[in-house]
Amino acid sequence: MSVDYLLKDGFVIHGAGDDESPEKADIAIEGDRIREIGDLSHVSADKTISVKGLCVCPGFIDVHSHSDFVLLADGRAEGKIHQGITTEINGNCGLSAAPLYGPALEQREKDLGELNIKDRWSDFIEYFMLLERRKFAANFMTLVGHGNLRASAVGYTDKALSGADMERAAAFLRDAMEAGAKGLSTGLIYPPGIYSDTAELVELARETAKYKGIYTTHMRSEGDSLLESVDEVINIAEESKIRSHISHLKTSGEKNWKKLDGVFQRMERADKKGLVITCDRYPYIASSTDLDAVLPSWAFEGGRKREIERLKNDWKILEEDILNEHPEASSPSFWGNIAISSVSLSKNKWMEGKNILEVSRSLNEIPMKFLFDLLIEEDLNVGAIFFLMNEENLISILKRSRTMIGTDSTARSFDGITAKGMPHPRGFGSCPRILGRYVREQGILTLGEAVYKMSGLPAKTFHIDRRGIIAEGYFADITVFNPETVNDTADFNNPFRKPEGIYHVFVNGKPVLLEGEITGSLPGRILR
């Protein structure tokens, strides 16, 4: 028998369960599939790769990605490929590539312009055609964003949906699911999701359940109202009879760290009711999102232009509301925990990587006023990193059997249009950090548990067919790493760094990383 590639003498972790130990075996790849596993000394290959002493496992599945738009600008996804990621699940936190009608498209124009994307589209059918034409390295799967549905139906208005509004949103949802979306995501701290009530979400989740889709959520609160937000997730799951998933589970703010036990208790009670509530987490204690997320919800009503008008004219009221919601914002230390990760204007690039306190002091400004002025000047395009979590809770979340690993990051490369700013290092180091820090160094997870959380469990949870497991007949999405040396090197001061110890990555039977170097191949597929 002759095959395309033969991986010889590796230690294979199949990814089918969390109690698995490596077993020595060869793997034959023919076309886009795994042809055979075992002692393959009788097999010849166009290319034989010795992986002696290395771990061979399923390619990692990033369950929480935000590469919806960047892949049209740069499909290489080097930061993800170097981590061993072969599939990204996109459309998270209520924002997806489609639908984009009316106000939903207007709100994205700035982002598309920043990425120099000239094409425009309305639905997933059009978007998928564009993406397939551009080509990309890792497989692409998507949820449909609730924010897209609501914005396309009624814009960014703070209102309850009427019957006709709901039918428009539901029609957009059905179109997306029929085009190949795998579920519904919400971002309930962002406009327009922030304006929705539970009844609206239940109705759309029920519609999603008809397609056997999943409901994922960036909850209404990950801090002060954390427990109430978990209750809402469970209520939606129960009322809609839908599999539900909590995105980047965390306890934000020191006063809320003690609430994690309450979160787990609620999830366990849901399990006893027969509900399926899973979650994901990135292995860092800092989060990242848009800087304007600190503003009260009413500031977002009406879209980008109205928000900027309020920053100019209503800043005193905004300041009062921020202090009411975050009393700790009166302390300089609060602003010292928020770092600026990206800006648009070249004159402000010096701020990237610095926290708001030190930048405002260098400009002799009050932090709150500086916040407002920067958002106005940058037309809201400011990314930020928030250092508000703790390591003990992170470890507890990682250890839970239904926790998966997501980067919560776009796919960036080390040069080109996506190599900008000072982004969160999770986009370059999440998977190797799990394997190095939390498996080898701290023993928080076994190697089998870690691989399962990054492969077989995501494939099972998100219904990804014939991927996530090393098995004959499955697609050849494969990652090869050295368990003794694998580690992340990216940090908050130097995020654009390649990890160590990941040698080979195959996507659909094609090598995208060989001997630690990007091959330039773009064999990714859309997983509908």
Residues 6+ away with beta carbon under 8 Å from 205: 184, 215, 236, 237, 239, 240, 242
Residues 6+ away with beta carbon under 8 Å from 394: 250, 281, 283, 284, 285
Query: Are β-strands 478-481 and 23-30 bridged in parallel, bridged antiparallel, or unpaired?
Result: unpaired
Q: Cβ–Cβ contacts within 10 Å for residue 489, how many?
A: 15
Per-residue pLDDT, 401: 96
Element (H, E) at 55: strand 55-58
Q: Cβ–Cβ contacts within 10 Å for residue 516, how many?
A: 14
Distance CA(97)–CA(91), nearest Å, equals 7
The values of phi and psi at residue 513, to 5°, are -140, 125
Give the pLDDT of the chain (528 residues) as one tens digit per residue: 799 999 999 999 999 998 889 999 999 999 999 999 999 999 999 999 999 999 999 999 999 999 999 999 999 999 999 999 999 999 999 999 999 999 999 999 999 999 999 999 999 999 999 999 999 999 999 999 999 999 999 999 999 999 999 999 999 999 999 999 999 999 999 999 999 999 999 999 999 999 999 999 999 999 999 999 999 999 999 999 999 999 999 999 999 999 999 999 999 999 999 998 999 999 999 999 999 999 999 999 999 999 999 999 999 999 999 999 889 899 999 999 999 999 999 999 999 999 999 999 999 999 999 999 999 999 999 999 999 999 999 999 999 999 999 999 999 999 999 999 999 999 999 999 999 999 999 999 999 999 999 999 999 999 999 999 999 999 999 999 999 999 999 999 999 999 999 999 999 999 999 999 999 999 999 999
Distance CA(245)–CA(236), nearest Å, equals 11
DSSP category for residue 495: -
What residue spans of 78-225 are helical by DSSP H?
A: 78-81, 103-114, 124-134, 146-154, 163-179, 198-209
Going from N- to C-terminal start, the domains of the chain cover 2-57+470-487+495-518, 60-286+388-461, 294-385
Per-residue pLDDT, 317: 96
Amino acid (one-letter) located at 425: P
Per-residue pLDDT, 18: 86
Buried b (16+ CB within 10 A) or exposed e, 429-462: bbbbbbbbbbbbeeebbebbbbbbbbbbbbbebb
The terminus-to-terminus CA distance of the chain in angstroms comes to 33
Element (H, E) at 456: helix 456-461
Residue 350 token pair: 């010096």
Please, are residues 409 and 424 in contact by the beta-carbon 8 Å criterion? yes
List, in sequence order, every residue forming a beta bridge with 24; answer none if it has no partner: 11
Per-residue pLDDT, 326: 87
CATH class of the domain whose range is 2-57+470-487+495-518: mainly beta
CATH class of the domain whose range is 60-286+388-461: alpha beta
Give 440-448 contacts, CB < 8 A, sequence gap 24+.
Answer: 440/483, 440/484, 440/486, 442/395, 444/395, 444/398, 444/399, 445/398, 445/399, 446/18, 446/19, 447/13, 447/21, 447/22, 447/55, 447/483, 448/13, 448/17, 448/18, 448/19, 448/20, 448/21
